[in-house]
Chain A
Amino acid sequence: MDKTIKIQVRRYLPEKQPDPFWQEYEVPLEPKWGVLDALIYIKDHLDGSLSYRWSCHMGVCGSCGMMVNGEPALTCATFLEEYQPGPIRIEPLANFKVLRDLIIDTDDFMGKLKSVKPWLITDEKRDITDGENRQTPAELKAFKQYTLCINCMLCYSACPVVGLNEDFVGPAAIALAQRYNYDNRDSGNAARHDTLLAHGGAFDCTLIGECSRACPKHVDPTGAIQRYKADGAMEYWKRLIWPKAATAPKNDGIVKQID
């Protein structure tokens, strides 16, 4: 081992010790090693009890998000060399419940994601013989950016509103709601308005902009939320002034039966 770097890990082993604690490891400073490689090295060679999530090691699965020196980051895309001389402090993603070491409880996020119905909702009956549901490049462009979300939850860690207000549905969920709202094949806006206009919806956001700075895929949840506020406020006034003209809620889009 020529050069090394110190890694401090926020650990939590509830069956051994009730409180979280810091543990320091020394790992080789290999060129092109990501922080994730350092954690894998620790688990393989130094301490098999360390727990963390990862899968693809190439920035698309969204599993390896952690706080690196206080900033949310995908550890596979964050390189040791950038943190010389160290030490590097690694913590579980902020604003989440922690189950063990670097593993956070994703249930709350999954529930919030589901509450905005991020799937195609349509009353249109289509037969297999109708073929593909074609879209023009312009129609695709209207929402494509929002499809790039990998559910890594970095934006939830970056957003102070998520930390201050546990009801807030959060940046990624709203961006994914907009991914369907702006899809011309979808007609589920009304169902999503019900969540996004309610308490905990888009209007809890105070436009800090940290979500877009943290996003590794440049989804820009800030823009998605702001654009929703404009559309949502319009819908609110419509429902207030002339309820009949407001978009009537349709089905919830869950396919009950496929022939």
Chain B
Amino acid sequence: MDTETAPTYKRFRPSAYHPSMALTWWMKKPSYLLYILRELTAVFVAAYAIILLLTVRALSQGGEAWDTWLATLQRPGMILFHGFILAFAVYHSLTWFTLAPTALVVRIKDKVLPASALIAVHVAAWVGCSAFIAWVLLSA
């Protein structure tokens, strides 16, 4: 990007070096690592979206297809994988709720709702949604 401060000016700027970022940049600070972990939740969350789709498909095909799919889900490796998915999905939820106040400004009359209250509302809604889905499934 050019500025009007004489981009060709060289007399006291014979050269410059531009340090580049290392491939391992995200290992240098705990906050960078947590950021990358947060972004990687997407892989697990997407994997679960596909598993959920396969579950619905197996249900619609019924009988044998469902039994085969349930047997797949019962493999120890698959249970372990779901454990990982659950951990990453919960991390995704918690980071999503804690970052929501950065974009969302809620005003009640003249007062801006503090971030902590906004996070609490999100967590409460999360518990409510989960309880509702659990009630629908378990009471079926």
Determine whether B102 belongs to the interface, using a CB cutoff of 8 Å to chain A: yes
Pick the contact of A98 from B1, B18, B28, B103 — CB < 8 Å? B18
Whether B16 pairs with A208 at a CB distance below 8 angstroms is: no
A98–B13 Cα distance when bound, in Å, is 10
Determine whether B76 belongs to the interface, using a CB cutoff of 8 Å to chain A: no
Determine whether A249 belongs to the interface, using a CB cutoff of 8 Å to chain B: no
Pick the contact of A108 from B1, B15, B21, B28 — CB < 8 Å? B1
Whether A160 pairs with B32 at a CB distance below 8 angstroms is: yes
Whether A230 pairs with B103 at a CB distance below 8 angstroms is: yes
Number of A-B contacts (CB under 8 A): 72
**Contact A208:B21 (CB < 8 A) given known A70-B28, A115-B1, A229-B103:** no
B77, chain A: closest CB distance, angstroms: 32
Whether B13 pairs with A99 at a CB distance below 8 angstroms is: yes
Stretch at the interface among A1-9, A58-66, A219-227: A219-227
**Contact A210:B102 (CB < 8 A) given known A20-B17, A97-B17:** no
Whether A227 pairs with B105 at a CB distance below 8 angstroms is: yes
* A105 surroundings in chain B (CB, below 8 A): 13, 16
**For residue B20, which residue of chain A has the nearest CB?**
A163
Determine whether A253 belongs to the interface, using a CB cutoff of 8 Å to chain B: no
Whether A114 pairs with B102 at a CB distance below 8 angstroms is: no
List residues of chain B with CB under 8 Å of any chain A CB: 1-3, 5, 7, 13-21, 25-26, 28, 31-32, 35, 39, 99, 102-105, 110
The 8 A CB mask of A193-234 against B (1 = contact, 0 = none) is 000000000000011111001000000001100110110000
Whether B102 pairs with A111 at a CB distance below 8 angstroms is: no
A197, chain B: closest CB distance, angstroms: 16
A69–B14 Cα distance when bound, in Å, is 28
A20, chain B: closest CB distance, angstroms: 6
A9, chain B: closest CB distance, angstroms: 15
Determine whether A82 belongs to the interface, using a CB cutoff of 8 Å to chain B: no
**Contact A226:B103 (CB < 8 A) given known A98-B16, A110-B5, A160-B25:** yes
* A111 surroundings in chain B (CB, below 8 A): 1-3
* A209 surroundings in chain B (CB, below 8 A): 31, 35, 99, 102
